[in-house]
C-alpha cells in the first residue's frame, strides 16, 4: 500500500484509484457507524476520496495513509450528521440492497448479530470498537483519528468491552438499551 501511495503522490492516478479500491470496504464500514442512509454514506465516501486526492501531497508519511484517510472520512461523516441535525444508529447489514457497496462475509448471521449488539453501545464506544476490531487500528492510531489521547481510547475500549461482556453474560435479557444508545441494567 505504501508504494501505491508514493506513486499516487507523484501523480499516478491509477495508483491512487487502486489504493482507494483496496480501502473502500473499511471506509464503508466506518461510515456506516455514523450515517443512516446509503446516500449519506456514499456522499461521505465520495467527499473523502475527493479531499484525499486533492490533499494527498500533504500526507508526509505514506505508511499513515489508512489513518489519514480514516480521519478525513470521520470528519466528513460528522459534517453530514451536523448538517442533518440528527442522531443515527448502526443499521443491520441485512438491510443492504444489491448494488450497494456491500461485502460478503462467511458468517453473515454473526455479522448481523454483531451489528445489533453494537447498537447497545454509545456512539463513541461503537466507533472505537469498529476502528479497533474491524479495521485493526491501534489505540494510538484511533487517538490520532479521533483527536483524543491514547489513554482515553484505551479507557473507551475497556468500557465498551465491559459493556459487551455484561450484555452477553446476562444472556441478552437483563441488559436493555436505553434511549441514548448506552446500556442500562
Can you spell out the DSSP letters for 35-82? --SHHHHHHHHHHHHHHHHHHGGG-S-GGGHHHHHHHHHHHHHHHHHH
**Shared-domain flag, residues 121 and 76:** no
Residue 10: inside a domain, yes or no?
Answer: yes
pLDDT digits (tens, 9 = 90+) for 155-181: 999 998 888 888 877 765 344 444 444
Q: Which domain holds residue 5?
A: 1-88
Number of domains in the chain: 2
pLDDT of residue 94: 34
Neighbouring CB atoms inside 10 A of 55's CB total 11
The predicted-structure confidence for 48-75, as pLDDT tens digits, reads as follows: 999 999 999 999 999 999 999 999 999 9
The last residue of a domain, from among 88, 116, 147: 88
Kindly report each contact of residues 103-111 with a partner whose C-beta sits within 8 Å and lies 24 or more positions away, as own/partner.
103/25, 103/28
**Residues 179, 124 share a domain:** yes
Residues 20 and 66 in one domain: yes
Q: What is the CATH number of the domain that holds 149?
A: 1.10.10.10
Task: Give the pLDDT score at 103.
Answer: 38
Picking from 54, 88, 122, the residue at the C-terminal end of a domain is 88
- Split at pLDDT 50, 70, 90, the class of 40 is very high
Report the phi/psi class of residue 88: left, alpha or beta, with left for phi > 0 and alpha for psi in -120 to 50.
beta
Q: How confident is the model at residue 100 (pLDDT cuts 50, 70, 90)?
A: very low
> What pLDDT does residue 54 have?
93
pLDDT score of 178: 44
In this predicted structure, what is the pLDDT of residue 176? 46
Q: What is the mean pLDDT of the chain?
A: 78
Asked if residue 97 belongs to a domain, the reply is no
pLDDT > 70? residue 132: yes
> CATH number of the domain that 41 lies in?
1.10.1740.10
Amino acid at each position: 500500500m505504501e508504494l501505491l501511495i508514493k506513486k499516487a503522490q507523484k501523480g499516478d492516478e491509477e495508483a491512487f484509484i487502486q489504493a482507494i479500491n483496496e480501502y473502500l470496504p473499511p471506509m464503508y464500514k466506518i461510515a456506516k457507524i455514523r450515517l443512516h442512509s446509503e446516500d449519506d454514506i456514499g456522499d461521505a465516501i465520495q467527499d473523502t476520496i475527493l479531499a484525499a486526492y486533492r490533499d494527498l501531497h500533504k500526507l508526509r508519511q505514506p505508511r499513515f495513509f489508512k489513518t489519514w484517510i480514516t480521519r478525513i472520512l470521520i470528519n466528513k461523516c460528522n459534517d453530514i450528521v451536523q448538517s442533518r441535525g440528527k442522531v443515527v444508529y448502526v443499521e443491520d447489514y441485512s438491510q443492504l440492497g444489491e448494488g450497494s457497496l456491500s461485502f460478503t462475509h462467511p458468517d453473515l448471521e454473526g455479522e448481523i448479530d454483531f451489528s445489533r449488539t453494537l447498537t447497545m453501545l454509545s456512539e463513541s464506544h461503537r466507533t472505537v470498537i469498529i476502528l479497533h476490531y474491524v479495521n485493526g487500528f491501534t489505540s494510538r492510531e484511533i487517538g490520532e483519528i479521533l483527536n483524543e489521547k491514547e489513554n482515553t481510547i484505551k479507557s473507551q475500549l475497556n468500557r465498551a468491552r465491559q459493556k459487551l461482556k455484561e450484555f452477553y453474560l446476562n444472556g441478552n435479557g437483563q441488559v436493555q438499551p436505553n434511549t441514548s444508545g448506552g446500556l442500562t441494567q
